[in-house]
Amino acid sequence: QVQLQESGPGLVKPSGTLSLTCVVSGGSISSDNWWSWVRQPPGKGLEWIGEIYHSGTTNYNPSLRGRITMSVDKSKNQFSLILSSVTAADTAVYYCAKSGNIFGYVTDSWGQGTLVTVSS
CB atoms within 10 A of CB 81: 24
Is 47 near other proteins (CB under 8 A)? yes
| CA 106, 109, 111, 115 torsion-angle sign | positive
Return the sign of the alpha-carbon dihedral for residues 35, 108, 44, 62: positive
Contact 42, 92 (CB under 8 A): yes
The least CB distance from residue 91 to other proteins, in Å, is 16
The nearer residue to other proteins, 42 or 120, going by C-beta atoms, is 42
Of 9-17, 18-26, 84-92, 99-107, which part binds other proteins (CB under 8 A)? 99-107
Stretch that binds other proteins, among 8-16, 53-61, 69-77, 84-92 (CB under 8 A): 53-61
In the complex, the residues that contact other proteins under the rule CB under 8 A are: 36, 38, 45-48, 50-51, 59-63, 95, 99, 102-108, 110-113
